[in-house]
Structure 1
Amino acid sequence: MVSSDPGADPNDRLNSILVDYVEALERGERPDRRRLLDSFPEYARELAAFFATRDRLDRIVAPIRTLAGSGIRRGLQSTQADTRADASPPSEIGQIGDFLLLREVGRGGMGVVYEAEQVSLRRRVALKVLSFASALDPRHLQRFRNEAQAAAQLHHTHIVPVFAVGVERGVHYYAMQFIEGQSLAQLIADLRTANSRSSATALSSNHDTPIVTANSAERGSRGRAYFRRIAELVKQAAEALEYAHQVGVVHRDIKPANLMIDDAGRLWVTDFGLAQMRNDTGLTATGEVVGTALYMSPEQAVGQRGVVDHRTDIYSLGATLYELLTLTPVFDVEDGRALLYQLVHRDPRPPRTVDRSIPPELETIVLKAIAKAPTDRYATAQEFAADLQRFLDDRPVLARRPTLRDRAAKWVRRHRLLVAVAAGCFLLTTVGLAISTALIAREKIAAEDAYQRECQAKEQERQRAEEAEARRLEADQNYLRTRRAVDLFVELSNEELFDFLPLTGLRVRLLEAAIAYYQELSESRADPLVRANLETIRGRVARLHEDLGALNVVSTLLLLEQPVVRADIGLTSDAIDQLTPTLDRLRAYRQSSPSQPESPKSQIGEIAAEALKEVQKVLRVDQYLRLHQIFRQIPGPHVFGRPSLEALGLSDAQRVQIRRIRSEALYASLRLWSTAETRSASQPEFEGMWARTNERIIEVLTPAQRTKWAEMVGTPVQGEVKFPLHSSTRPR
C-alpha cells in the first residue's frame, strides 16, 4: 500500500507508488493512470515520464522487454492498449496536393516530416516537405531530389519505400510509408534515461530493497538475449545497405536517428538525403564534410571524396552497433574539432571495457566494422551481416582481433611523419658513425690508397673503353633490328589482303606507325635509305587517304542498286534508268581484282569523281544527303571514318579512346577475313562485330555530339541494306 505519512521520504513514497502499480499489472489488473496522476500531483511529472517511457520501449522492442519478466510485459501491453484506446485521432493541420497533413512527426535541417493521409487512396503516409529556405538553395533542393530518387529506386524489406514525389505551389515533397515506431536514437536515449534514473533512485534511497521499475529491470537484464536482439536489428540494416550498395547507392549518413523500428520489431533504413549514387556528378566538393560527426568514417571526416565509398556505411553502422551495445558513442566528445581529430587519429575504447557483459564475438565484429582504414573493415555489408548471423547461430565469426603486428602497422600509418623523423634521425646517426670511423682509419690506409688508386684508374680506363665499344656494337645491332621491323611494317601494308575496303583503315594505321618509326630513326642516325623510305611512305599514306575517300564514295553510290534504298530516298523509274549505266560501271570497277595489272584501281579518284557528278545530276540534294545517312547506318569501319570524326568536333581524349576502339576492331577484322572461306560468308559476323564497335564509340560521345551524330545518321531504313562487296573470293 502507498504510505500516507506526509513526513515519509519522497523517494520512498514514489517507490511505493511504482511497486503498487507494477504488482497490479502482474496480477492482470489495469490500473487507471489518470487516477494515479490526479491522486499524486506532486509526482505527476515523474509518473508521466515513467508511463511514456515504458509504453514506447515495450511497443518498439518487445523481444528485449521479455528479459524484464513475463508479468511486467503483460501489464505493460495492457497499459499500452489503454493508452491507444484513450488517444484521439489527429486532426488535420493543412493539405498539400493529395495529402492531408495530420501532425508533425519530425524536423531536420532541410525539411519537416508529417504524418499525412493520401486522400485518393485513403492510406496513411509520411510526407517529407522541403523547407522554404532550403528550396531557395539549389544544393539543398538537389539533395532533396537526390534523396527521393535514391530511395525510390530501392525496393527492400528494410528500406522505407517512396510512394510519390511532387511539387505543389512551389512546395517540394515526397511521400513514403509511415512507420509506426521510433528511431534507434530514441531507443538509445530511453535506455540511457532508464539506466540513469534507476541508478540515481537506487543511490538516493535508504531503502534496503531497490525500486522495482521496468527501467531498472531493463538495464539489469542486458544478458545474451538482449545482445542477440541488437545483433538481429543491425543485421537487418546491413542487409538493406548491401542491397543499396549493389544498385550503386551509398547512404553516407547511417546513424541511429535514420534507423527506425516498427511495432513488429522490424528495422527500416530511412533518410537518403546525403546518398551518393553511381555516376553521380557530385553534390559534394572535395574537402566538404557531409554526414553526422559522431557516426561518420575517418575518410568522411577529412573530406576525402574520392576515398568515400560503400565502406563508409559499414563504419557508420558499426558505430551505431557500438552505441547500442555500450549506450555511449564511439568517441564521446562535444567539441567538433576534437571529435574529428579523434575519428582520424585515436582508437576507440573496446566495448567490453565499457560493459563486460558484451559478448566477445560482438566486440570483435564492432572493432572490425569501425576500423580506421577502409581496407581493414568488412569488404561488403553482406560480410558484416554474415558475421552477425554467425553470432546469432552460435558459430565462430570470421572477424579476428588485430595482432600486435597489425596494431603496429596501423600506428605507423597514422603517425607517418613521426616515423619518418625517427628514421631520419637513425639514418643521420648511422651516417655520422660511418664518417667518424672513416676519418679514424683514413691516416692508416693513406699510403695503400695512393697505390691502389693508380691501379684502379688504369683498370677503369680499360673497362670504359671495352664498355664503349660494346655499347656501340649493341646500338648498331638495335638500329638494324629496328629498321628491319619497320621495313616489315611497310611490307605487311603491301599485302593484297589490305586492298579490301574494310581493311584499308588498318593498312593506313600500319603505314602511319611506320612513318613514326622512320621519323625516330632518321633523327637518331643519318641514314639516307631511312629518309627516302620516310618520304615514300608519307606519299603513300596521303594517296591511301584519298583512295579511301573515293572508295567510300563508290560504295555509297552503289547503294542505289538496292531496292530498299531506292524506295527510301524516293527514286523514280526515270531516275533509275538514268543512273543504271553509271552504277554498272561502278559495279564492274568494284568486282575487278586488285591483283590484275589492267585493274582500274589506280584511277579510283577519277572514277569516283566522274560517277559522283553523274549521280548529282539525277538526285535532289535531300536524296543525296539521305543516301549518305543510309551509308552510315551500315555497320563497318567506314561509319566513323576521318570525315565523320572531324564533323563531330572530338576532344583529344575522345580521339585517343576512339582510335583504340577502332584499332581493336580493325585487327579483329583482319583475323576474320584471313580465316573466312569467302567474304560474303563472313559478312554477317563482320557487320555484327562493327555494330558493337560503333555502339562503343557512340558511348564516348557527349550528349551534344550524340545529337549531331543522330542527325548525320537519320532515321533507320525500313528494310535490310547490304554493304556493296567488291569480290566474293577469299582475300589472299
Structure 2
Amino acid sequence: MMADCPNEDSLRLLLGGNRDPASDDPSDDPSDELIEHVGECEACQERLERLADVGVAEDDRLETLLGDVDLAWPTDAFGKDLSFDLDPLAEQTKPDRFQADCYDEPTLAQTQDMSSRPTVGAAKSKPKGDAFVGEFGDYELLRQIGAGGMGLVFKARQKSANRIVALKLIRPDQLSILTPERAETWKKRFRAEAQAAARLDHDHVVTIYDVGEVDGTLYFSMQFIDGPSLSSVVQKSPIENRRVAALMAKVAFAVDHAHQNGILHRDLKPQNILLRESRESSFSDAATVASSHTFDPGLHGRDSVARSPTDRRGVDRAADFSERPYVADFGLAKATDEGIASSTHTGEVMGSPSFMSPEQAQDASRCTKSSDIYSLGATLYFCLTGRPPFRSASAIETLRQVIDEDPVEPRELNRAIDADLQTITLKALSKEPSKRYPSAADLADDLNRYLRGEPILARPVGRIERSIRWCRRNPVVASLASGIALLLILVATISLLSSMRLRQHVRRESEARAEAEEFFSVSLNVIHDMVTSYASDSLEHVPQMQTARRDLLLRALSLYKRLSQSRPSNPQLWSQYARTRYRIALLHSLLGETQQAENAFADTIEVLESLIDESPGDIELKAQWARSHTMLGETLRITAADDARKHFDLGLALQTKLHRQFPANTDYKLERSRTLNNLGLLLTQTGEFSLAEVNFNAAIELLKELAEDGSIQVEDRSSFLADLARSQINLGVLLRKLPDRVKDARRSYMRAIKNLESTLTLQPDNRDRQFRLAVAEVDLGNLLLTESDGEKELALTYANDASDRFAKLIDEFPGIPIYHYESANAANSAAGALAMLGRRQQSMSRFQTAIDRLKIMTDEFPEFTETEARVHSLRGRLLGGIGFLHSQQGDWETAKEFVDQAIASQRAALLRQPKNPEIQEFLEQHLGFEKSVSERLND
C-alpha cells in the first residue's frame, strides 16, 4: 500500500489509462498499488473527480484528458495504424453523429470505477486527410464517432452485407491496465450490452446486427443512425410541447418493448436517444423505412394490438413529425430474467445521476421497470425545460437531491409548457415507484391522449400531497407547526359549519352573528396562547428554532390580519379586536421588522383611542393603550431615544394609575415593572444615571413582591425571579459606570446570580436561565477585575464557571451562534484575569482560545458574525489583549501589529452600531494604547 497520496501527474496518468506518451519507461504505467490506493483513499477520489470534471458540463460533453496527443490505438488488432487527429482545427469534415452523445457523459458506474477510467478524447474526432479504410474482420472502419469508458464506436462498412453500420469495440488498452477480475467484469458488461440489445426487435430501438471477436477484441455491430441525440437538439432550445410528446411516446413504447422482453435499460437519458430524419410523408403502417444509408427494415412494433388512431408502433398519426427516435446504449442494461448475466451488486450505484431514479441512486440492484419510467420522466423534463430535474456541482450532491428533493415544476422554468404535459412529467418523476405509471406503455398512452386532445389519466399533485412532501422534507418545522395546522383546520371547520348554518337559517341572522363573534373570540384566544408560547425568548436557544419560530410567527401574523379585517359589532369584543391589532405589531417586533413594528404599534394606538372614545369605561382598552405605548417606546429605544422617552412616559403614567387603583392585579404590577426596567435602560443609554437607578430600583421592588407571593405557581415564580435578576443585572451595569459604586454593583450582580440559581432549582432544564446565569457570571467576573488584587482569583473563578456552562450548552446545541459568542467572551474575561494575575503564558493561551472560537463562528455562522457589532468589538478586545501581553514582554513591534488589528475591528463594529458608546470607549482605549506603543518604537 502506498504510504503517501500520489501527485496530480500520477492521477492524470491513471485517468488517461496510458503511460506518459513522452516516456519510454514502462514504470510509468499505472500500478496496481496506485489503483488500490485510490480505491481506498477518499481524498484521492475527490481529487480525481475534480480532475475529470465528472459533472455535466454546459455543452454536455466530457472534455478530453489527452489534449492534442494522437490516439494511436489499436495497431496490432487491425494490422495498421489508425491514429486520429484530436486537433479541433483539423479538417472540417462533417462528423458522423451516431452515439457520439451516448459517450459524451460517463455514467456514475464509470466514474466510480477509478481503476477503469476512460481515455476520452476520440469522440467526434476528424480523420487526417481522407477517410481511413481499415480492415477489421468483416468490417472496413471509416472513422471513429464515439468513445466511452471501455469502448470505442466506429462508423464502418460491413463488407459481406455491403451496408453502413456502427461498430462498437471493447478497448484492449484499457483492459490491459486492469486486474483480471476487473477486466472480466468489463467484458461481461460489454457482452451483456450486446445480448440485451440483440434480444430487442422494435422500430425505435437501435438494431444489433452482429456480435463477435477479432484477434481477442470483442465487438458488436449495429444500425447506424445519421442524426443528433435529444441532448444535442435541446442544447439549442427546449423542444415544443407536441413534438416532444410525440417523440417520447415512441421512446416509451420502445422501452416497454424492452421491459416485455425482460430487459431494464438503467441509463435512459437524452444522450442515449438518437433522432433520424424520416422520409415518410406520414406515419402509417404501409410506410417503408428509407434513408441515405442501408437499414434493416424488418422491425416490428411492441405488439399487434390496435390503438387507433395510433398504429402498432405506438405512433400517433395526428402528430406527423418528421423524425424518428431510437433508444441506444444498453451498456448498463440488466435482465429481469436469467437470459443474460448482470454484474450489479447490492449497494452499487450505476447510471447517470441527473436522470436516475431515487431507488437507483441508492442501490442499482433495486432497479425495476419503474426506475426506467422515472428516467423517461427526467428525459421528458429535460426536453421541455432545457435542464434535468436535478443537477449540482458534484455527482454526490446531485444524488442527494434526487433522493431527498422534489424537482421544480416545469412550468416555473418554461411557461410555454402545457399543464397536462407537466402533470404527465411529474407523475413519471414521483419519488415513490408506486405513484409512477404502472408501465412505460401507460406513459406512452397518456402522451398520446394529450396529443389527441383527450383527457389524460394522470392528475396533478394536490395541496394535501404537497403538504405531506413538505413535512417529510422539514420534519422539525412541521412538528412545531402542527399546532398552527390544527388551528387552521379548526378555523376552516368552524367557518364551514358557520357558513352552512347561515345558509340554512337565514332568518336567524342575529344568532349567526353571535356565533361568528364567539368564534372570533375563541380563535383569538387560541392564537394568542400559541403565539405567547412560540414567541418565548427561550425558544431562541433551541436548535433550528429561529427558522421555525419565524415561520410560526409569520403564520400567526397572517391569521391575526385576517381576523382584524372585520371589526366586531359587539362592544364586548372591542378589547379583543384591539388586542389583535396589538399582537400584529408585537409579531413584527419579534420578527425583527423594526419599521413595520413602529408603524403597527402607532396604528394600534390609533385604533385603541377610537375604541376608548366609544367606550371610556373599558379598563382593559386603557391597559392595552398603555402597553402599546411602552412597546412602541421599546421599539424606538435604540434608534430614536427622545421619541421613545415620550411613549414610555405616557404608558408608565397610566400603568402606575392602574396599579394603584387595582393593587392586587398581578398583570398590572408586572407590566409596570417591565416598563420601569426598559425606561431605566433608556436613561442609562442617554446618561441620566441617577434617574435610571430610581427606575431600576422601583422595578426590582415590584418584582420582589411578585416573586415572594406564596400563592403563585412554581412556573410564575420562576418567571418573576428571572425578570428580577434581569433588572438587578441592568442595575449592576449602571452602577459600574458611577464613581465609588463598584461594591454596590457587585452586590446587585450577586443577587441576580442567586435569583437565577433559584430559577434553576425550580426549573433545572431551562436553558434560557442557564444561559443568563453564565452571562451574569462573566459580567461579575469583569467587575471584580476592577477591585483589589484579592478579587482577581474570584473573577477568574466566575469566568471559568461561565466557560464551563457555555461549553455544556454548545455541546448540546452547537447550532446556536450566541452560545459561541458568549463562550468566547467568557474566555476573554478569564484571559484578562490571568494577565492581571501575572500568568502571561496562560493568559495568551486563553486569548487564543477565544479567537479560535470566533473563527469557528465566522466559518459556521458567517451572516451572524458579519452583521453583529458585538462580535467585531469582542475580536478587537481580544487582539488588544494579546497586544498588551506582547508589550509587557517588550515586543513592541508585535504589540503594534495586534493593536492596529484591534482598532480596525472596533471601527468595523462602529460601522454597524455608530451610536454605541461602549464600542466607542473601546476604540479610544485602543487608540491610546497604540499611541503609547508607537512612542516606544520611535524612542
- Tell me if both proteins adopt one fold, taking TM over 0.5 as the criterion: no
- Structure with the greater alpha carbon radius of gyration: 1
TM-score grouping bracket, smaller chain normalisation: 0.3 to 0.5
> TM-score, normalised on structure 1?
0.40
Greater RCO structure (CA 8 Å; 6+ sep): 1
> TM-score, normalised on structure 2?
0.32
